[in-house]
């Protein structure tokens, strides 16, 4: 490989090349999603699904310690160095050549790895482990990104989970789960449904749609702003706003996406009807946006999946940017009503929606 010969020409010795696993075709969008070195000296990686990885080892020369590096398809968002502790001196994320991300783990000069015992193991379609074979070394946890499959990979947002499909394992999101996007590059209009004289649906226990969706929307706005996204809300408080001014505000703001947040209702005599539905109107980008939000919610909270569908709601029909309307659940449903009345549940919903929007922006822009 060109990288190896260049290093060899510079007078360094390649002592061993590690195992190469997963002989699948390389996808253009594949890349390193997250890495972590845990306290037991195991490097854990999450990548795009089904990619090839090359891992290498270079023995230290007394001045510099042993190095292990792994090359991933796709350029890094930004090259960087992270200072290590204990046995690890430094971790670097670089770009040796265009279109390649290189993760380098450099050890302290006095740390000796047993190169023959190094092996990078694929443990899942998108997860890898590499144990650093070194005696009496101290490791301190460090890493970047979210290792647990907390948001869909680059190819997932356009793919809706089939309605009625069994629930996935659920996750707990924190603000650390919010994916990185370029600061200052994006604008979003959030539309909390109803408000003021229009309470929207009123469900079990008297929970009002306008209150639930305003609380969730405000939290989504806060999360997006924390990532440097410019957010406009169609209403900030409990005020009456008609549909045409909402669409006009969105069109004037020229956002990258418009997301309207609602909760559903059916007869109070139908408590068995529960579930999440997300809508778009006629646009492929709108469908991608809807799917990204929908799937993120389904991965986070228990919710019957009622699917991503096309619909003619005014605010998604009369806005001229990618637009989606999410119905968080049924306020008249026995399961959903209890969830939607719970502030902790609403916090998770807001984080899940923010993750879905950020993932959409990440891939769109
Ligand atoms: Zn509504």
Residue 200 CA to ligand 1 center (angstroms) comes to 5
Q: Looking at the structure, do residues 227 and 339 belong to the same domain, yes or no?
A: yes
271 in a domain, yes or no? Answer: yes
Categorize the per-residue pLDDT at 50 as very low, low, confident or very high, splitting at 50, 70 and 90.
Answer: low
Categorize the per-residue pLDDT at 365 as very low, low, confident or very high, splitting at 50, 70 and 90.
Answer: low
Residue 262 CA to ligand 1 center (angstroms) comes to 4
Res 150 pLDDT > 70: no
163 in a domain, yes or no? Answer: no
For residue 39, the domain's CATH number is 2.60.40
Residue 272 CA to ligand 1 center (angstroms) comes to 19
Q: Looking at the structure, do residues 139 and 221 belong to the same domain, yes or no?
A: no
158 in a domain, yes or no? Answer: no
Q: Please tell me the predicted confidence (pLDDT) of residue 98.
A: 84
Res 226 pLDDT > 80: yes
For residue 322, the domain's CATH number is 3.40.630.40
Residue 246 CA to ligand 1 center (angstroms) comes to 14
Q: Which residue has the higher pLDDT, 160 or 314?
A: 314
Distances (CA, A) of 357 to 73, 143, 232, 251, 258: 25, 24, 14, 18, 10
How open is the CA angle 84-85-87, to the nearest 5 degrees? Answer: 100
Q: Please tell me the predicted confidence (pLDDT) of residue 145.
A: 78
Residue 253 CA to ligand 1 center (angstroms) comes to 22
121 in a domain, yes or no? Answer: yes
Residue 69 CA to ligand 1 center (angstroms) comes to 52
Q: Looking at the structure, do residues 68 and 217 belong to the same domain, yes or no?
A: no
Q: Looking at the structure, do residues 343 and 263 belong to the same domain, yes or no?
A: yes
pLDDT tens for each residue of 108-124: 998 888 888 888 877 66
Q: How many domains does the chain have?
A: 2
Q: 124, 120, 83, 75: which is closest to 102 by C-alpha? A: 75
Q: 326, 321, 333, 323: which is closest to 350 by C-alpha? A: 326
- Tell me the residue range of the domain where 49 lies: 2-144
Q: Please tell me the predicted confidence (pLDDT) of residue 148.
A: 65
321 in a domain, yes or no? Answer: yes
Q: Which residue has the higher pLDDT, 192 or 41?
A: 192
Residue 93 CA to ligand 1 center (angstroms) comes to 45
Residue 127 CA to ligand 1 center (angstroms) comes to 40
Res 153 pLDDT > 50: no
* Both tokens assigned to 57: 């080892």
Residue 203 CA to ligand 1 center (angstroms) comes to 12
Q: 271, 270, 340, 269: which is closest to 303 by C-alpha? A: 340
Residue 267 CA to ligand 1 center (angstroms) comes to 15
| Least confident span in 84-93, 111-120, 230-239, 333-342 | 111-120
Q: Looking at the structure, do residues 122 and 247 belong to the same domain, yes or no?
A: no
Categorize the per-residue pLDDT at 355 as very low, low, confident or very high, splitting at 50, 70 and 90.
Answer: very high
Residue 194 CA to ligand 1 center (angstroms) comes to 6
Residue 185 CA to ligand 1 center (angstroms) comes to 30
160 in a domain, yes or no? Answer: no
Q: Looking at the structure, do residues 140 and 12 belong to the same domain, yes or no?
A: yes
232 in a domain, yes or no? Answer: yes
Q: Please tell me the predicted confidence (pLDDT) of residue 149.
A: 52
User: What counts of helices (H) and strands (E) characterise the chain?
Assistant: 7, 17
Q: Looking at the structure, do residues 193 and 85 belong to the same domain, yes or no?
A: no
Q: Please tell me the predicted confidence (pLDDT) of residue 316.
A: 95
Q: Of 128, 144, 160, which one is at a domain's C-terminal end?
A: 144
Residue 201 CA to ligand 1 center (angstroms) comes to 6
Q: Looking at the structure, do residues 133 and 180 belong to the same domain, yes or no?
A: no
Res 181 pLDDT > 50: yes
Q: Looking at the structure, do residues 338 and 212 belong to the same domain, yes or no?
A: yes
Residue 202 CA to ligand 1 center (angstroms) comes to 10
Residue 264 CA to ligand 1 center (angstroms) comes to 6
Q: Please tell me the predicted confidence (pLDDT) of residue 237.
A: 96
Q: Please tell me the predicted confidence (pLDDT) of residue 189.
A: 98
* Both tokens assigned to 6: 């260049």
Q: Looking at the structure, do residues 213 and 337 belong to the same domain, yes or no?
A: yes
CA quadruple 310, 315, 317, 321: dihedral sign: negative
pLDDT tens for each residue of 323-338: 999 999 999 999 999 9
How far apart are alpha carbons 80 and 352 in whole angstroms?
28
167 in a domain, yes or no? Answer: no
Q: Please tell me the predicted confidence (pLDDT) of residue 168.
A: 40
Q: What's the rounded mean pLDDT across residues 37-53? A: 83
Q: Looking at the structure, do residues 120 and 31 belong to the same domain, yes or no?
A: yes
On whether the CB atoms of residues 263 and 329 are closer than 8 A, the answer is yes
On whether the CB atoms of residues 58 and 67 are closer than 8 A, the answer is yes
Q: Looking at the structure, do residues 195 and 75 belong to the same domain, yes or no?
A: no
């Amino acid at each position: 490989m060109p990288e190896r010969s260049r290093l060899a020409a510079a007078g360094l010795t390649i002592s061993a090349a590690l195992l190469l696993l997963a002989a699948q075709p390389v996808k253009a969008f594949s890349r390193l999603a997250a890495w972590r070195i845990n306290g037991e000296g195991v490097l854990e990686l999450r990548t795009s699904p089904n990619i090839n990885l090359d891992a290498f080892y270079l023995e230290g020369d007394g001045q510099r310690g042993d190095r292990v590096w792994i090359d991933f398809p796709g350029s890094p968002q930004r090259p960087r160095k992270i200072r290590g502790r204990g046995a690890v001196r430094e971790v670097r994320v670089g770009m040796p050549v265009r279109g390649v991300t290189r993760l380098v783990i450099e050890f302290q000069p006095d740390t000796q790895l047993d190169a023959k015992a190094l092996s990078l193991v694929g443990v899942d379609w998108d997860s890898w482990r590499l144990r650093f074979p070194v005696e009496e070394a101290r490791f301190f946890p460090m890493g970047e990104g979210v290792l647990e499959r907390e948001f869909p990979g680059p190819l997932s947002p356009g793919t809706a989970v089939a309605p009625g499909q069994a629930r996935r394992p659920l996750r707990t999101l924190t603000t650390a789960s919010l994916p990185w996007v370029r600061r200052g590059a994006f604008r979003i209009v959030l539309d909390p449904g109803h408000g003021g004289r229009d309470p929207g649906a009123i469900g079990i226990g008297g929970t009002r749609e306008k209150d639930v969706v305003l609380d969730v929307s405000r939290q989504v706005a806060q999360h997006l702003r924390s990532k440097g996204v410019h957010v406009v809300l169609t209403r900030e408080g409990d005020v009456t706003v008609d549909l045409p001014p909402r669409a006009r505000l969105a069109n004037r703001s020229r956002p990258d996406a418009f997301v309207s947040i609602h909760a559903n209702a059916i007869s109070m005599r139908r408590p068995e009807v529960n579930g999440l539905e997300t809508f778009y109107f006629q646009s492929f980008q709108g469908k991608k946006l809807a799917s990204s939000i929908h799937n993120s919610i389904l991965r986070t909270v228990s919710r019957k999946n009622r699917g991503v569908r096309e619909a003619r709601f005014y605010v998604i029909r009369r806005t001229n940017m990618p637009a989606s309307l999410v119905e968080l659940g049924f306020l008249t449903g026995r399961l959903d009503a209890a969830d939607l009345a719970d502030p902790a549940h609403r916090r998770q919903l807001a984080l899940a929606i923010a993750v879905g929007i950020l993932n959409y922006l990440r891939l769109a822009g």
